[in-house]
Amino acid sequence: DQVCGATRAPQKGRQTPNSLLSGVPFYLDPNMDTRGPSKDELVSLIKTGSGTIVNRRPAPKDTSTKIIS
């Protein structure tokens, strides 16, 4: 199918909404760049995608937590 392709990814994505960031932790640096989206907008997007916000800066060797600065 030319619209969905062999993987049917769009159809599968619609069947499991709000799980794009499921299980992905995010740390929002308090001194983050103000030129992009606001902290509230980022929190809303992360939570909508089922991601989690962590309050403590991750250890330098922690590669699972995404740092937004």
Each residue of 23-40: pLDDT tens digit? 889 999 888 887 888 999
* Percent of the residues in the chain that have a pLDDT greater than 90, as a whole number: 19
**What confidence score (pLDDT) does residue 54 get?**
93
Q: What's the whole-model pTM score?
A: 0.65
Contacts of 69 (CB under 8 A, 6+ apart): 29, 31, 32, 33
List the pLDDT tens digit at each of the 69 positions of the chain.
Answer: 456 666 776 676 666 655 678 888 999 988 888 788 899 999 998 888 888 999 988 888 888 888 887
